[in-house]
Structure formats: structure tokens, C-alpha cells
Structure 1
């Protein structure tokens, strides 16, 4: 009986302790924070004049031609009466809606580039519903950041934080105009940092579960100290609305861009002149790495900073200036922040050995240049029965077009390992098992000596683009 009584008392004490913990584990209080920061958040609307078809028929009476085949659509368009010569066509006003925030009392405003792109007029509406016309100081499509300027003094401005010290799991809050509903407040936590998105090489995005919808773009992401740590920019959605995956541009990146736009109207970024790819488990094994990490150099552009600094195809970049490259996407983020002309130290693995490389970073070109592709070339064939491919030497013209020395051009893919790993006729093999392939004959020799049941790497050029693939030969 005494034991049962003690057990019941212990259980009661445990329940009281749990209740106390639940009572103390309250959610953050956002009301004071919202009152403090809201005045610096603005609504942004744009207008763009788009000419309509120069017809003499009112738009509401025009038939819907979009779904018709081209031949019928052209017939009906020719049949519609046109305006008399010299009479201007009507214009319709296209409008977009987004958010932004004031970063200085003299009227500088940050938002997304896609909110104001191609706008003829930009209107900034403050929290007191007053409207100011804004001038575009500059925009950077690569980071999706735009800097605006409105006339004013003593305007409410946000406090800027440091996204670098933001922690995963930390509470954050967003204010914006989703679907045009001004100053809507949503909250959540930081889900991840340093996210890379397709076609977004220069922004290590902050991922959150804050509810972000169309109209929130360009609005601020606050921490609990009321400091801006990001610009809400994108959502991942299959429905067109919020699905729990939102992405913000780190404020450290955005302010670096804003300062360059304010100073010179454009952004200068560092550039190495390499094509890189992810290092997976098999590639790590083939290059003698302990674990998958770093950025594998699949291509070095001729006369680029990397080529001049001695970086080679097949090098694995593990760190830059002491900052580790965990995934390959980390490298463009880091290089982009380096001032062109500055020197950096790369920690690389080459031929299974670690070494350091010191080189100067170049300036990112305005537009990338496409690499020329190679066409098939007749010639003496060399075949490797182990891989199941027939290869030939590249002509001098093909080598110049691809900027390679040597290589083996795949003429035919038979049944075998090559077919299983996706090789195609027209592919060019430049490296096999960490050895440079300067001819079809060299390829045959290296292929015959490939090890069994171990990951082997192969560098392949396809339509001018280089990548490493791995495979294993069985017994």
C-alpha cells in the first residue's frame, strides 16, 4: 500500500511539472514587434502601358482567337477592320502588386526586381495610405533585388540585422501585401539556410515556413528583435499559393547589392570561369575523398581566371579562403561576393592529394558565352569491348571548337556499361579513371585497365557542356 501511495504521489508531481513546462512554453508575442516595424513596410504597385491591337472594333466585341489554329487566327485578324492611318492604337494598363520596406529616412526602398521590372510608373504606398512616386535607382536580376528612391525626409525606416547569424529554428515574421491585402502579418520559423534554387546561383536563400503568397514579394522578413534579416522573394507551390516552403534573400546579400546599385547603378561579382558539379558518393570514392563534399571542376573556360590560376579539370574544391564548400552550390555564393581582382586561396584535391592554390578572381561577364558543340567525325575507330563503345579521334577543328586537346569521340554505343550509364554517339570523353584521354588509342588502353567493382569516374562533353559521371565494372 505504501508503495502504491508513493507511486501515485510521484505521478501527481510529474503531472504538475509537465503542466508547469507547458504553461512556460508560450509562443512568442508579436504585437509590440508589429507595431514597431509596420510603419516602414510599404505597398508597391506598378503600371505598364501595353499597346492593344490597332483595330476599329471595341475590345469587348473582339472574338477570342487564342485557342484557334494559327491559320484560322490569321484569317480572322485580317478580317477585323483596322484604325484609319495615323490614328494611334489604344493602350491598356498592366498592373502588378508587391511589397517593400524603407531602409533609410531619406527614402531609399528595397524590393524585388520582379516586382518593378519593365514598369513605366512605380507607386509606393506608406502605412498611413499616402502615396509617393518612386524612381528606380537600379536593379539586379541575378539576385532579384531592386533599389527605389522616393522623395521624403524623416521617413520610418527598418533596422537591419545580420542574416549570417540567423539560426535554423529561429522565429521570424513577415509583413507584406498578399493578394493586395496591405500589411498582412504572418510568422513561422527558419527551416534552412543556404538553399540553392534552379537558375539562382548567387543567392544562398533562407528557407522558412512563413505563409508567403503573391503580393508578399519584396517584403521584409524580421527576427524577434525587429531587425530585417531577409527579403521575401519566392515560394515553392503546386497550387499557386502557400505550401510551407518560402524563400527569402539574406539581407547581407541584398544590402551588398543595394550599396553597389546606389554607388554605380550596377553590381560587380567575382567569377572563376569554371563549370562545376556536385560530388556524390561514387565520385567521392573515385577521387579518393573520405566523404561526398566540395565542388568538382568539370570544365575550365579558356583564358578565364581559373585557367590562369592553374585550376584543372578533375580538381575538387573543398574550401575557399578557409570557408568550406559542403555542396557545390556553396562555391558560386562565395565567389560572387568577392571583389573582382582580389586573390583567393583554394583548398583542392588533385590526383588524390590535397594542395592549396592561390589565384585572382575575375569579373563575372554580363552574358555567358555558349560553348560550341562537336559534330561527328569519320576516322579510324578504336573499340573497347569492356565498355561497349566505338570511339574515334577528334579533328583539329573539333578540338578548337570544344577547346580541348585530344579526347575520344563516341561514334557508336553498343550493349554494355556505356549504354547503361547513358553515353550517346557524339559525346566526347576527355578523362577516364582520373587519366587524361588525348586520343582514341589512349582511351582504349585506359579502358582495358579499368578496375573491377570500384567506382570509376569519366568526364564527358555533351553539346559543349562537361560533366563527370561514375560507374562500376562487375566481374
Structure 2
């Protein structure tokens, strides 16, 4: 009994210590976080946010979810892929291009031009444990809140397969079949994320090291295909899949 109490108290103290450092960590993280979307000058609104991304490596490469990217751009009307952020108190826009995409793990790598952004370091997602506290920063409801990134926190409530077997074949679709054939584990979070959070960095509240990428669409299609109404559960893709993508293009 005393041993169990000691473990609980120790875990509580670690969580308190992590939260104590979060305000300083958020200050460091926010400048590296961008909104990802499209821009078309003749459209109203001209800017449309589709998700979140964050700068890594050299400050000119950014990670996000693959599903955040538009399937097709209206290039004939001047629509471009872009990232949006605040710098020196002003709203900024940079044109972005897709460098690489890992669709099975829903990760995409973008590149921008101009002055490098502050970057986030990548942590070790293999060391993430259930019950550990993490934070994520992004643009939860798109353009509604403007270019002001929002931070949430929560514990990793489970490390779980991306797809689970279904009771009847009628529940299967091609995407679920592919994920059942090539399963991998994702982080289930005790925190509320919104569609605009897709692509947000999940990071250590003390160090800011990124261990995952928040995912609000891709994972839920697999995990919650039996539910008539989606749950409020949030998920994150382990950062090791993004590291693999970086290695493939020679950035690691």
C-alpha cells in the first residue's frame, strides 16, 4: 500500500514540476508553430486555414499531417499552398511547397522560402509512457481565433493500435483494411483537440521536444468507424514516422 502511495505521489510531483515549466516552454514553442492552408487573393476569404504545422531542422522545413494538404489547388485562379504566422506583431504569409508525404502515417513535409523560423527539436517517441503529461499548440478552430496559437495539455491515456478489428465485414472499407494489414501504434490523449489542431506538435512541457503530431481525422477514421457520433478523444502520430520522412530526404 505504501509503495503504491509512493508511486502516486511521485507521479503527481513530476506532473507538477512539468506544469511549472510549461509557461516558459510555450513561449519558446509558439514562434515555430504555423497555420497551414491556402491563399487566393481573389477569393473571400483570401486565406483559408486547414490545420497546423511546425518548423524543424533548418527553420525552412515544416511538418504537418498529410490530410491537411488540399487534394488539388485552383492554380488557374492563383490559389497557392501557404503557411501563416505572426512575427514582430504582424501577420505573415509564406508560400509553401510539398517536399515529401507519408500517407500511411499521415505525415507531410513542407518547405518555405525566406527567413528561417524558430525550430522545435524532435524527441524520442519510443520513450513515451502512458500517464505522462504532454502539451500541444496549434490553431484549433482555424481562422476563427486569428493567428493566435492555442495550447492544451493532457496525459497519454493509452498507446493503442491505429485500427482495431471489426465485428462484421460490412464495417470494413479499403482504408481500414490497409491499416489493419499494416498496423502501428498511436498515442491516445486525455485532452480535447479540434480539426484545426491536426498537425500540431505534441511536446514535452519541460523541454519542448516533440514526440508526436496531433491528428484529428486520419486516426479517428480507423479507431471510431463503429461509432455513429465521433468521440472527443484526441490522438497523435508518434514523431518517429516524421523522423523517417526527414531521413528519406536527407535532413537527418
Q: How does the TM-score come out when normalised to structure 1?
A: 0.38
Which residue among 208, 212, 216 is the counterpart of 2:189? 208
Deviating 4+ runs (over 4 angstroms): 92-96, 235-242
- The answer (yes or no) to whether the contact 2:59–2:119 under 8 Å persists in 1 is no
Are 1:223 and 2:182 matched, yes or no?
no
Aligned-residue offset at 1:263: 4.7
Distance in 2 separating the partners of 1:103 and 1:131: 18
- Rounded Cα–Cα distance in structure 2 between residues aligned with 1:107 and 1:183: 19
Gaps of 5+ in 2: 1-8, 74-79, 165-175
**Cα distance between partner residues in 1 of 2:229 and 2:150:** 18
Task: Give the one of 78, 83, 86 matched to 1:127.
Answer: 86
Mapped partners of 2:229, 2:27: distance in 1 = 30
Superposition RMSD on alpha carbons, in Å? 2.9
Residue 136 (structure 1) aligns with? 98
The answer for the alignment partner of 1:176 in structure 2 is 138
Matches within 5 A, 1:417-456: none
Counting only pairs closer than 5 Å after superposition, residues 3-22 of structure 1 correspond to structure 2 as none
Aligned positions of 1:335-354 closer than 5 A: none
Change (3 A) 1:240 1:258: farther
Q: Match for 2:112 among 137, 150, 154?
A: 150
Deviation by residue 1:349-399 (Cα, 9 ceiling, x = unmatched): xxxxxxxxxxxxxxxxxxxxxxxxxxxxxxxxxxxxxxxxxxxxxxxxxxx
Is the contact between residue 172 and residue 190 of structure 1 (CA under 8 Å) also seen in structure 2?
yes
In structure 2, relative to structure 1, the CA distance for the partners of 1:96 and 1:39 (3 Å cut) is: closer
1:27-426 to 2 correspondence within 5 Å?
Answer: 27=16, 28-29=19-20, 30-46=22-38, 95=48, 97-120=50-73, 121-128=80-87, 129-180=91-142, 181=145, 182-197=148-163, 199=176, 200=179, 201-224=182-205, 225-234=207-216, 236=220, 243=232, 245-260=233-248, 262-263=249-250
Q: How many residues align?
A: 197
Q: Take 2:152 and 2:231, find their aligned partners in 1: how far apart are those partners?
A: 12
Measured at CA, do residues 127 and 202 of structure 1 come closer, stay the same or move farther in structure 2, by a change above 3 Å? farther
Higher share in helix: 2
Higher relative contact order (CA 8 A, sep 6+): 2
- Structure 1 distance, partners of 2:99, 2:114, is 15
Q: Residues of 2 paired with 1:173 and 1:33: CA distance?
A: 10
> 1:127 deviation in Å?
3.4
Q: CA deviation at 1:240?
A: 7.2
2:4 corresponding residue in structure 1 = none
Deviation string, structure 1 residues 235-278 (Cα, Å, up to 9, x no partner):
657697762x2111101122102332x259xxxxxxxxxxxxxx
Tell me if the contact between 2:156 and 2:188 (Cα under 8 Å) persists in the aligned partners: yes
Residues 94, 141 of structure 1: CA spacing in aligned structure 2 closer, same or farther, 3 A cutoff? Answer: farther
Q: Show CA shifts across 1:257-309 (max 9, x none).
A: 2332x259xxxxxxxxxxxxxxxxxxxxxxxxxxxxxxxxxxxxxxxxxxxxx
**2:163 & 2:24 partners in 1: Cα distance?**
34
| Preserved CA contact (<8 Å) 2:134 2:202 | yes
| Separation in 1, partners of 2:184, 2:86 | 30
CA distance in 1, matches of 2:29, 2:138: 12
Q: Based on CA coordinates, which of the two structures has the bigger radius of gyration?
A: 1
Structure 1 residue 197 displacement after superposition: 2.1
State the Cα distance separating 1:153 from its structure 2 match: 3.9
Distance, in Å, in 1 between the alignment partners of 2:99 and 2:38 is 15
TM-score norm. by structure 2 comes to 0.69
Cα distance per residue 1:181-215 (max 9 Å; x no partner) = 34111100011124222523354211111211110
SS of aligned partner of 1:205: strand
**2:173 — aligned with what?**
none
